[in-house]
């Protein structure tokens, strides 16, 4: 896993955010258009952070209730985040006919009740707990369906966040807040926070298993910035990046390459030179090992 990873957590309500803000020791950095809290995962995984494995940024945004707010909040947060290695997590409360309040559940299917649209998140990261379908309604629902959670934002979250990350990295975890015995009317902010607080460790473990899916990414930043002295079109920059990536994969980015780049007079000549360098390489099996 690269150190440039981000976990974007999106919740609907401040009371859902509070236990996570406390757990990750997040700081509020913005309140308009949405409350945004930022911190680092390493702060909460100190035992493992020494080897750098778990260092990543945590953003938490409070979207407000309903699908529209959720979609806008996801889009807004995506605009602030480098999309390369980003995990998206929707945490919140939901109703369920049978499940006991305070159960924690991973969502394996989400249905937008308004249009019938359905989505199955890829369940690649390990999860040992319960799992359920989630139906997203336009308004609070106390007429619980059989065998599914109900909420007001889940579908919009998957739809919006799914534009910015692949399905394995876009997940939702719900804590059951009401059921056919304990009604939705009894809920208040403090009760919702109390329902979520005991689960912060489990949520964090799930975040860690999502992060474990991410492969190391090639860091070409230094080499990309070396051509600042050259005039490049977008396409030339792209070609240059592609060549750097291929040379890096063959373990050929070294001081000699850096010198060639620094001494280049034009991007055209540099691209040609790097292409020639690449053309003469025969890969070794060591460079083909994962």
Q: Which positions lie near another protein, rule CB under 8 A?
A: 108-109, 118-120, 122-126, 131, 162-163, 165-170, 213-218, 245-251, 278, 281-290
Rounded least distance, CB 35 to another protein, Å: 27
Q: What is the spatial distance between Cα 216 and Cα 259, in angstroms, rounded to a whole number?
A: 26
Pick from 172, 7, 200: nearest CA to 106: 172
> Which DSSP letter does residue 153 get?
S
Nearer to another protein, 8 or 193 (CB): 8
Nearer to another protein, 115 or 265 (CB): 115
Q: Which long-range contacts (CB under 8 A, 24 or more apart) does 256-263 make?
A: 257/223, 258/223, 258/226, 261/223, 261/226, 261/227, 262/226
Q: What is the spatial distance between Cα 23 and Cα 36, in angstroms, rounded to a whole number?
A: 15
Nearer to another protein, 122 or 191 (CB): 122
Judge whether 76 and 157 are in contact, CB under 8 Å: no
Rounded least distance, CB 64 to another protein, Å: 25
Rounded least distance, CB 155 to another protein, Å: 14
Nearer to another protein, 20 or 160 (CB): 160
Rounded least distance, CB 271 to another protein, Å: 16
Rounded least distance, CB 183 to another protein, Å: 29
Rounded least distance, CB 284 to another protein, Å: 5
Q: Which helix (H) or strand (E) segment is 166 a member of?
A: none
In the chain, alpha helices (H): 14-24, 46-49, 67-79, 154-161, 189-196, 200-213, 221-225, 234-249, 255-262, 267-279
Rounded least distance, CB 176 to another protein, Å: 18
Nearer to another protein, 26 or 165 (CB): 165
Nearer to another protein, 137 or 158 (CB): 158
**String of b and e for 106-118 (b: at least 16 CB within 10 Å)?**
bbbbbbbeeeeee
Nearer to another protein, 18 or 106 (CB): 106
Judge whether 106 and 130 are in contact, CB under 8 Å: yes
Judge whether 264 and 274 are in contact, CB under 8 Å: no
Q: What is the spatial distance between Cα 162 and Cα 182, in angstroms, rounded to a whole number?
A: 33
């Amino acid at each position: 896993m690269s150190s440039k990873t981000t976990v974007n957590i999106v919740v609907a309500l401040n009371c859902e955010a509070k236990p996570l803000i406390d757990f990750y020791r997040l700081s509020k950095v913005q309140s308009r258009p949405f409350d945004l809290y930022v911190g680092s995962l390493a702060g909460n995984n100190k035992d493992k952070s020494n080897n750098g494995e778990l260092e990543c940024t945590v953003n938490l945004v409070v979207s407000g209730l309903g699908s529209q707010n959720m979609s806008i909040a996801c889009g807004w947060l995506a605009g602030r985040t480098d999309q390369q290695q980003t995990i998206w997590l929707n945490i919140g409360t939901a109703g369920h006919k049978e499940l006991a309040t305070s159960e924690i559940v991973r969502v394996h299917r989400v249905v937008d009740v308004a249009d019938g649209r359905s989505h199955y998140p890829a369940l690649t990261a390990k999860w040992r707990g319960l799992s359920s379908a989630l139906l997203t309604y336009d308004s609070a629902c106390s007429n619980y369906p059989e065998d599914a959670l109900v909420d007001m934002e889940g579908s919009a979250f998957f739809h919006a966040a799914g534009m910015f990350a692949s399905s394995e990295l876009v997940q939702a975890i719900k804590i059951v807040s009401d059921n056919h015995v304990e009604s939705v009317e009894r809920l208040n902010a403090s009760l919702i926070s109390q329902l979520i607080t005991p689960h912060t460790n489990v949520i964090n473990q799930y975040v860690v298993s999502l992060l474990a899916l991410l492969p190391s990414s090639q860091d070409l930043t230094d080499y990309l910035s070396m051509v600042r002295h050259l005039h490049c079109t977008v396409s030339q920059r792209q070609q240059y990046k592609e060549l750097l990536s291929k040379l890096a994969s063959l373990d050929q980015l070294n001081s000699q390459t850096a010198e060639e780049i620094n001494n280049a007079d034009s991007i055209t000549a540099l691209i040609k030179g790097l292409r020639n360098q690449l053309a003469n390489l025969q890969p070794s099996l060591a460079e083909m090992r994962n």
